[in-house]
Chains A and B, each alone.
Chain A
Amino acid sequence: MQLPRFDFIQPATIDEACSLLDERKGDATVLAGGTDLLIELRRRLRKPGCVIGLKEMRGLDYIQKDDGGDLRIGALARLQWIESSPIIAEEYPALAQATRLVAVPPIRRVATIGGNLSLDTRCIYYNQSEFWRSAQADCIKLGGDICHAVPKGRRCLAVCQSDLAPVLMALGASVKIVSAEAERTVALADFFTGKGEKPNVLAPGELLAEVIIPSDGQRAAVYEKLRIREGMDFPLAGIVVSLGTDGQGAAAGARIVLSAVGPAPTRIVEAEGLLEGKRIDDDLLEQVAQVMFERAHPVANLAMDPWYRRKMVKVLTKRAVRQALETAKAN
């Protein structure tokens, strides 16, 4: 199937990209790696008049530490650089681990971190060809007013499929967003809206420019991903646990993120609180896993039974807590 027609412009600098986005506000879409956008265009899920290609743009292709010790990753850093970066391997191994779970090497070679965070949410009733979709009424995400996944559903629950987002959220990351007029930095938790039909706060004319990750000290983080095929698949549920220890083997400063069961990755503060200052035994693990289970509400919108996905949230939580604790103790 051919792509729809569009104007294609490749700006050389960030300023040029921003003024283009401003000029054609609402009609322009940026293409970074294109590994998701081109498929959406092919399926006519979006019909921009103008596509702004960023592959050759300079200025957002870096991974570096700033003077304050924060790690700054330009939005155009390729996933392949992230998985092979020595700084990331050393200080944020969970980010490298999660990156290796995205798609396959040839896709990670072109895919970018900015594209991964801006990735559209997915649903089996949405990510289909125009012909397939023509057999039924437009769903909420397509501008209609019904949900095919949840009978009588009034909210779009298309799922966040980014593997990097939950890890970056657990690492306390924020993103820098630029436009022709302004620049703002938002915590990742505020970047995601929780709305399946409009998953992030990027406004027309805005560009995600940079991901900022604070120094993680002696903490350890682990990402557990559920998927059908281990070789390559989008997540069907995901858990990130990040924690440190107080020196006596009790958990300190735990952060737990639940993802791929709803439109946005979410920190589950109640589960985090259970771990605080505690030595972790099987009872506590069961309680934490139970809270995660109760907070997960997957619906039948991905290629796996939602009840199974929900039960796996428990299993993944236990695995992630155990492993994070082991790693934190060894640090």
Chain B
Amino acid sequence: MEQVLIKLTVNGREEDVRVSPHKTLLEVLRDDLSLTGAKNGCEDGSCGTCTVLLDGAAVRSCLLLAMEAQGHEIVTIEGLSDGQNMSPLQEIFVNQGAVQCGFCSPGMILTAKALLDSASSPTETEIREAISGNLCRCTGYTKIVEAVMAASGQPVPVRTHPYEGDVSERAAS
């Protein structure tokens, strides 16, 4: 159970870290590498806020041992911007109002990135399926789905107030 020296490739940089075998990738990213973008939410795989990209695919870093991540390319939310400017995908999330408290955003954005890297114009259903494992307790998903549509250059559906129809029908009758 001694500490071991491992090499992780995070956001394109090689990092040497000394870890105990029971440390998860999430703990090492946050505590040893000071990359606090990936959040610690449920710790049981159900919220998705700890999402990182592993060889381009969205995975949960709370369910992966740091030692298992050796030899793979890890990208965290910090890896999307250049340190000064946000990436276009992040900008769109902000501009579309897809960020409220922001706790889910790193996971949402990375999951969206993995999707957009594999499908250039995903349908709304595909987007909802892709982010179905990412819980958001504030924004309410609609804006997030719209942000991903906008990011893939698709028109964002115009939505009317959900009660509008009912109200006018009632008024007419």
Contact = CB atoms under 8 A, between A and B. Distances in A.
Interface of A: 1-8, 10, 31, 33-35, 38-39, 42, 51, 53, 55-56, 103-107, 109-110, 231-232
B169 to A, nearest CB: 29
A27 to B, nearest CB: 13
B122 to A, nearest CB: 12
B45 interface: yes
Contacts of B23: 2-3
Contacts of A53: 65, 67-68
B132 interface: yes
Contacts of B60: 35, 106-107
A19 to B, nearest CB: 20
Given A2-B27, A106-B58, A232-B132, A39 B67 contact: no
A104 B132 contact: yes
Contact of A105 (B20, B64, B71, B132): B132
Contacts of B58: 105-106, 109
Given A34-B64, A105-B129, A4 B59 contact: no
A232 B46 contact: yes
A4 B62 CA distance: 14
Contact of A109 (B1, B43, B57): B57
Given A105-B132, A106-B59, A231-B132, A6 B67 contact: no
B133 A5 contact: no
Given A6-B22, A8-B21, A39-B45, A103 B133 contact: yes
Interface of B: 1, 20-24, 27, 43-46, 48, 51, 57-60, 62-65, 67-68, 71, 111, 129-130, 132-133
B129 to A, nearest CB: 7
A55 B63 contact: no
A2 B22 contact: yes
A4 B21 CA distance: 10
B63 A103 contact: no
A103 B129 CA distance: 11
B68 A55 contact: yes
Name the 5 nearest CB pairs between A and B, nearest first. Answer: A104-B133, A8-B21, A3-B22, A231-B132, A106-B58
A281 B71 CA distance: 58
Given A53-B65, A53-B67, A105-B130, A5 B59 contact: no
Given A38-B63, A42-B44, A232-B133, A106 B21 contact: no
Contacts of B59: 106, 109-110
14 contacts: A5-B1, A10-B68, A34-B63, A34-B64, A34-B68, A38-B63, A39-B63, A104-B132, A105-B130, A106-B51, A106-B59, A106-B111, A107-B60, A231-B132
